[in-house]
Amino acid sequence: MMDNKLRFASLQSGSNGNCLFVESGDVRLLFDAGLTGIQTEQRLESFGVDIETIHAVIISHVHNDHIRYAGVLQRQYNLPVWMTSGTFQEVQFLRRPGRVNEPHLFNAGDTLQFGTVKVETIPTTHDAPESVCFVVDDGTARLGIMTDLGSRFLGLKETIATLDAVYLESNYDLDMLENGGYPEELKQRIRSDQGHLSNVDAAELLLTSKRLRWACLGHLSASNNHPAIALETHRRILGESLPLHIAPRFDVSEVFEL
């Protein structure tokens, strides 16, 4: 697939495990490690990518659905793993398979360089130490990877306005959450500034950007959301002009290009 285009695919999305693929030129990156090594390898192979050609696995935060198999990717496939210092402090207490030895460390807010590709790391308000989201910039296009945000924190809207495309969490429908079976404490956590963005939160963020060529909605709750409800909410707020996609919960998405 190698050329000058920036490509993105979700290998899986949701509380059952998250892993995302980005390619530009000869640089190939994974974001998060919520799938087993075999699942990751097979889903990459489904669109022609050899897992051994991955340059780095970059972890957003320490929650299990994002980091569970980072140690497997490091040990079994010899992939370099990158994470914040705050995340690493928590990882040291994990049992295998998540435990990572001597990862590459960065501070939230740093910009990482992989060949011609820059990865901007942006602190979020999600309830994990030094949780971050990302902007991938290959000099031609800018892609946001933005889940587990916690809130529409200061500067997020302005960052999204600089993007050509975004993978954005659209975690819950407020009515489904309010009327569902979750304990009230968990409902409050999800709604809080340390939880997740609702469908309305996400759509209102997208509404502020005139530059986006497409958006992929991810990290939908299995209990408090549904793809059709998420799309209907976004269309009601955004209209029909922006191409919208939903990342599958249990499978690989199509490969999107910029």
Interval 221-251: pLDDT, tens: 999 999 999 999 999 999 999 999 999 999 9
Residue 123 lies in a domain: no
Domain edge (last residue) among 71, 91, 106: 106
Question: Which CATH number covers residue 192?
Answer: 3.60.15.10
| Whether residues 27 and 91 fall in one domain | yes
The reply to whether 182 and 235 lie within a common domain is yes
| Neighbour order of strands in the sheet with 117-123 | 111-114, 117-123, 132-137, 142-146, 165-169, 214-218, 244-246
Enter the pTM of the model: 0.95
- Residue pair 147/168 in contact by the 8 Å Cβ criterion: yes
Cα–Cα dist 28/45, whole Å: 13
- Residue 190 is part of which domain span? 149-248
Q: Are 88 and 103 in contact (CB under 8 A)?
A: yes
Confidence of residue 178 (pLDDT cuts 50, 70, 90): very high
Q: How many domains does the chain have?
A: 2
pLDDT of residue 146: 97
Same domain, 75 and 161: no
Burial 150-160 (b: 16+ CB within 10 A, else e): bbbbeebeebb
Q: Looking at the structure, do residues 4 and 97 belong to the same domain, yes or no?
A: yes
Within a domain: 165 = yes
The pLDDT tens digits for 193-229 are 888 999 999 999 999 899 999 999 999 999 999 999 9
Please name every residue paired with 216 in a beta bridge, in sequence order, or none if there are none: 167, 245
